[in-house]
Structure 1
Amino acid sequence: MPRHPRRMARCTALLCAVLVNTTVQAAQAPASLVTAARQAALEAAAATDVKNPTITVTRPDPRLRLADCPAPLTAQLTGTARLPGRAVARVSCPQPPGWSIHLPLHVQASAEVLVAARALPRGHHVQAQDLARRKAELSALNGQYVLDADAAIGQALRHAVSAGERLRPALLEAPLLVRRGEPVIIELQGASFAIRASGRALGSGPEGARVAVENPVSKRVVHGTVTAPGRITVKF
């Protein structure tokens, strides 16, 4: 028989307490938080057509102890993150104990952005030969770049650009097809007729814009849609 039954009893009780305490305080692995945040960033990057992103997630504070989640973690980017760039992922345990943590992250990606192949004046309508490409880190540009040449060709420049200058969405605008005070063709369309007449534009606008136009003979003013250079269509 054991010589010290009381000591053995105390040791057994202590061992049980340690086991119970370990179960209660089982902590969520920090790596799982980072993995969930990275996956959320990958999905967000794919949704915005970011190619081959590199994602750096800030690891949680090593002093932080979150209860081990009994279910797969959920994660999503918060706010209106513009990728590539900096963002924050909210990683959550969807079941009790139901905690959440926010992890900052950085999405980086390189691509060839559009630049002006030569100096271009204000109002110039961009053509394919006006464009060149230059590799850049997109996360440093805060969304101020253009990747698709089709999105730039045919657009008018809001101001002059120098050779090699990066094109930005704010620099481009739809070209004006009708200008205030200039003569236009008014195309009157009905269910069973179409009539053309001369007119004078009372406003300026790109394709699809609503513009007032005056018949110089009758002085009647109507509103129509710009459908082509120098043409306004009025439907009845």
Structure 2
Amino acid sequence: MDRTRVLAAVLSLTAGSADAVGLLGFGLFTAHITGNLAVLAMYVAIGRPASLALVLSIPLFIVVVAAARRLTDRWTRRGRPALRPLLWAQLLLLAGFFGLIAVGEAVGLAGFEGREVLAGPPTTAGTVTVLLAVAAMAVQNTLVMIALTGPPPTTVMTTNLTRFMVAASDLAVRRGDPAARRPARAQVARIWPVLVGFLVGAGLAAAAYAGLGWWSMALPLVLAAVALVVAPSGRRPS
């Protein structure tokens, strides 16, 4: 497996873990912005007040993606690859996320205890903290799209699972057609590490949260650091 595929797998581990700890610890999806859109629409429809974090997560995601794209354009014009700066941005945002949690726990701030799923953090401190993780995942979405060549999305498992099953079905029904099986086999090989990575990342984070509490929030940060280590060098934005 080449380093780009390894990086994609590590990024999916990061996204899965960030989504899980965000949901369990703060009641908010951090990587799955579609989920936040659906929940916000549901709350509006039934007249239930939405948390500030839920409301802000969507425009924040949009702004961070636009900013990351603009910075990437600047780096490109200067002949610099954007991959590693974006990975650093993700790491620093997740460091801020965990750092605020550690400080909040140390001084006893409210809003850092486990929350009802989808309830959102009840305090300003909790809101700012979880939105740093949302920003980090917005950076990851951007870098996978514009700074990597080949890997599938690392945060959108609905599309990945659909493509994986279409390719797997082609492999199953086209046994006598090697030419048709070749692209399907390549698609399966491209997608499965990301699917498995996201699932494992979410599972590890949930288990860590159950056993370690707020210390589990360090898992996405550790995985983001691993992503920097395994990242290939010299990639240019497409």
Normalising by structure 2, what TM-score?
A: 0.20
Higher strand share: 1
Normalising by structure 1, what TM-score?
A: 0.20
Q: Point out which structure has higher relative CO (alpha carbons under 8 A, 6+ apart).
A: 2
Higher helix share: 2
Structure number with bigger Rg: 1
